[in-house]
Every structure is written in structure tokens, then in C-alpha cells.
Amino acid sequence: MTFRTMLASTALVVVASGTAFAQLPEDLQPGTDFATSTEYYQYLYDHFDGGTEHTYETVPHWEGLWSGAGNPIFREAFFVSGAGLFGAGGTVNPDILTPEYEAATTMRLELATQYGQQAYDRITTCEPPGYPRWLLEPYVREFVNTPTQSWWLNDLANDTRRIYIGQEHSNIEGTHSPEGDSIGFWVDDMLITNTVDIYPNDWFRGNPPTSNQLESVEVWTMGQQDDGTPLLTANVTFWDPISLLRPIQLTYTFRQNTGLMNAGYRLRHWECEIQNTVLSEDGQTTTLLLPGDPGYVDQRGGRHIPDLPTDLPGQELNPGEEALPDFPG
């Protein structure tokens, strides 16, 4: 059976509580009717005549800090029953993944059950979470829209996506990347994107892996929760002919995190302490060394830059008051 013939199967649709999937006009074909993301994206682009050409004055503003709004996707999409926090004890849904990826996911779950957590997580060795995991990470995000680009910043690992508006895909490096290459177009206040050329990643910790053939079309809209708080909704269709039996549709929601905004929280640089990550003796798991553990490297103090004098002032990463000079006046 080819990937195209599998499209006749009923598509998986998983949404967050209280969120409807359909935001495109009902007369449009769903993404699961198409063999590739490129075909579906072009279909939508043609239907909307290339979309809306915004200016800085008219482009939608998605300002503020945003957190995931109760997305249950990883439990409902890929596991039949029993999936714990990281998939431990779960049973893989046999109708979603190809045999090779179902077996790989079962192996991951068995190890998670044995160790009580995912045995190996890419972010432990400072790999970026990448896409599609970006959509499900629990950390906050910022969205910056301009007429020609949209920058989507994830607080985890400085994981930033860039959506190039009204452009075609470009891959001058000839390789894939953690976030892939994303293009998009606006239809009034709705943003439609297409992402290709993505590294093999994971759906989320404890979830199935993805292959290097994963692609997607996302439909983003701004709405409100029942209490009036702004809510961003991303309805996403995924294609992956190596890992998925057929295209699947998932919905991700993001609420404006007014608590962090009122507290004055700001996204900072994510520090990845790979020097304090060690492989266990059994070669199966990774462990983080904590302050006080033998071999722990304090990356925020006691460092020496080899090509600078050891007594050069002002090199403390966390200077105390005693490290600051006395300024006149």
C-alpha cells in the first residue's frame, strides 16, 4: 500500500478541550486529502489568491507571553492506554505509526517504564527540541509578526522558528535543520504556514520519534477563552511517509500568560550545561550532575578564559556588590 492510497483511511484528529478543529471554510478540502504538505499549501494559497498583503500597521499583533493551554495531544494521539508522564506503561496506538516506528516507540516506552523516565532525551545533550516538539513544550513563547516574517521564540533552548511571509522555500545549505524551513501567508488575521526540511526529532518527551520526511501545514488564528483571555490556536496537518500510516491532524492552543506578564518575566538566554551531562554505566541513560556531585563543572563561576589574564576584573558572570567599582558621585 502506498502513502497516497492510505489517504482513504479516516484521519486522526485530536484537539484540546473546548477547541474546534475547523477554522477554514467548510467547503475546502481537508489536508488529509492531499499526499504532501506542498500540495495542500499550494491548494490553500490558490484558493485565497495569495492571501492578504499586510503592512506594519495592519499585520496582526500576537504580543505578550504565551503558554500551552492544556494540550493533551501526546496521550490521546499515539497511545491507547496507560501512558504516564513520559509514556511509561503506555500501549502504542497501532493505527497511527508504521511498523518500524511503532516498534521503535514500544522500545522507548519499555525503557521509560524501566527507568521511570525517558532513557535518553535529545535536549539532555543540548540538542534543540526542534519541530514538532516546539508546539508542545510547556515553556513560554513570544510571537513577533512583521509583514515579511514572523518570529516565534520558545523559552526552551533558544528554539526560534522563522516564518517567511509570501516567499517560497529556500534551502541553500542543502540539508535539514531542527526547525525546518517555514513559509506562510496571511488571510486577514489567519496565518497559514508550510514547514519542510526538518531534522528527525520527537513529538515530545516519551513520544514517538519523527523521521526526516515530516512536513506540515499550520493554520493559526487568534481567539479568546471563556474568561476573555486571548487564545492562539494552531490547527496542524502532518505528513511523514516514513513514520506515519497517513496524515494526521492535531490542534495546539496557547493562552496568554498574564501571570508571568504581570510579574515582568522576560525571555533570557537558555543555558545548556552539557559539561554536567554524563552517560550512565549501563550506557542507556544520561544523568545530570548537580552542584556538589563529583565532577560537577560550575559554568557560572570560577571560570578562566585561556586568552585573558586570570586577574582581569569584571569577568564574574554573577557579580555581587563587592565586584562592582565605586563610581564617583
> Looking at residue 21, what is its pLDDT?
44
Indicate the helix (H) or strand (E) that contains 183. Answer: strand 181-187
Residue 146, Cβ neighbours under 10 Å: how many? 12
Whole-angstrom distance, CA of residue 149 vs CA of residue 183: 9
Whole-angstrom distance, CA of residue 175 vs CA of residue 36: 19
For 96, list phi and psi in degrees, rounded to 5: -115, -45
Question: In the chain, where are the structural domains located?
Answer: 3-263
Average predicted confidence (pLDDT) for the chain: 82
Q: Under DSSP, is residue 259 helix (H, G, I), strand (E, B) or coil? A: helix
| Residue 55, C-beta contacts closer than 8 angstroms, at least 6 positions apart | 147
> Looking at residue 6, what is its pLDDT?
30
> Looking at residue 26, what is its pLDDT?
82
Per-10-residue mean pLDDT of the chain, 329 residues long, equals 31 42 77 96 97 97 91 68 62 90 88 78 82 91 97 91 97 92 97 96 89 96 89 95 94 92 91 71 74 72 63 66 51
| Residue 293, C-beta contacts closer than 8 angstroms, at least 6 positions apart | none
> Looking at residue 25, what is its pLDDT?
83
